Amino acid sequence: MASAPLSEFELIERIRSQVTHNPGIVLGIGDDCAILSPTPQCSLVTTDMLLDGRHFILAECGPEAVGEKAMGVNLSDIAAMAGKPIAAFVSIGLPRQSADTTALGILKGLRKVAERFNVELAGGDTNVWDGPLAINVTLIGETVPPGPVHRSGAQAGDGIFVTGPLGGSILGRHLHPKPRIAESLQLRACMNLHSMIDLSDGLASDLRHILAASGNLGAILFDDAIPIHDDAWILASRDGRSALEHALCDGEDFELCFTAPRKEIENLVLPDSSNWHPVLVGEIQAEPGLRSKQANGQIEPLTLQGFDHMIASKQFDDAL
Ligand code: ADP
Ligand code: MG
């Protein structure tokens, strides 16, 4: 016999009984507000909403992956500022059918990632409706000395680095982001980072955000230096676009892109057991615009764009 659906109160109690505590939280789930103790560092606050049909397909991936992704994408934003995560607030709009099993599945995914990064699930909101699943996570973090890294600090002559291979995340990796929190803290501790961003919309787009924020600078990317993920090669063999194009334009890699004086990289000492290392992919230049240096040495303007929600939805409307 199927068990009776959980009430909202029972569901929240279930969530509350399973959270990992973070010492920065005085009061978590259960009252009208959570209470966070002030820290000597600045607070970082980020929020990201995921929608069924846009950021995931619930019927295909199941609720646990949704929870993993929702927590992971927000952690990636904290990593992009070189911060430490503390507390997460999760608001969900659950489709009426199987609302409680969906919620518990989401909770499992959220907890899996939260525990790995010592984040306390400190509150949220639960709604049931006749629409598709929507989930929003707000994440609170704190800066670490010597302070956060902004998008706006790039300087002409900086090397441009990425923390891992790019492209093809749509084959499945986008559902299981690996937020680069530890890597970002390692970088921050060892190097004078000028600017940083996480790659959610593709290097071709996200690097443009650094350039714009840093006073309309330009950049050159070295085509043969871009680390291309195996998934990008697989996609390329299917759709005829090049693997490099996938690496530059596909979204949701959740690697970091940072800029620093090139010599700074010598200060980064990683243990032999380290399974990542930054890759130099280009250089910031004073002349505005994005260019690519091809394998034959030729330099061309780079017109490729990454993912843009507003443009993508306009194209979707136009296609109807
Ligand atoms: P209120 O009606 O005062 O807003 P709720 O009944 O919505 O309070 O929530 C009760 C407690 O449960 C609050 O601490 C809230 O933050 C927490 N909560 C509700 N939904 C969730 C959720 N999906 N995940 C985590 N905490 C939740
Ligand atoms: Mg209340």
Mean pLDDT of 181-207: 97
Tokens of 276: 């990542």
> Which pLDDT band holds residue 1 (cuts at 50, 70, 90)?
very low
CA–CA separation, 30 vs 9, rounded Å?
Answer: 10
Mean pLDDT of 185-189: 96
Q: Which atom of ligand 1 is nearest to the CA of 28?
A: 14
Q: Give burial (CB, 10 Å; 0-12/13-18/19+) of 158.
A: buried
Residue 320 has pLDDT above 50, yes or no: no
Confidence at residue 39, expressed as pLDDT on a 0 to 100 scale: 85
Q: Which atom of ligand 1 is nearest to the CA of 89?
A: 25
Q: Which ligand is nearest to the CA of 123?
A: 1
CA–CA separation, 267 vs 192, rounded Å?
Answer: 9
pLDDT tens digits for 217-274?
999 999 999 999 999 999 999 999 999 999 999 999 999 999 999 999 999 999 888 9
pLDDT tens digits for 54-88?
999 999 999 999 999 999 999 999 999 999 999 99
Ligand 1 within 6 A of 92 CB?
Answer: yes
CA of 74 to the centre of ligand 1 (A): 20
Ligand 1 within 6 A of 90 CB?
Answer: yes
Q: Residue with the nearest Cα to atom 16 of ligand 1?
A: 123
Q: Residue with the nearest Cα to atom 8 of ligand 1?
A: 32
> Which pLDDT band holds residue 318 (cuts at 50, 70, 90)?
low
Confidence at residue 304, expressed as pLDDT on a 0 to 100 scale: 83
How many of the other CB atoms lie within 10 Å of CB of 7?
A: 10
Mutation test residue for ligand 1: of 125, 126, 128, 133, the one with most atoms within 8 Å of CB: 125
pTM: predicted TM-score of the whole model, two decimal places: 0.93
Residue 317 has pLDDT above 80, yes or no: no
pLDDT tens digits for 108-163?
999 999 999 999 999 999 999 999 999 999 999 999 999 999 999 999 999 999 99
Q: Which ligand is nearest to the CA of 34?
A: 1
Q: Is the peptide bond before 148 cis (omega within 30 degrees of 0)?
A: no
CA of 14 to the centre of ligand 1 (A): 12
Q: Residue with the nearest Cα to atom 10 of ligand 1?
A: 30
Average pLDDT, the chain: 94
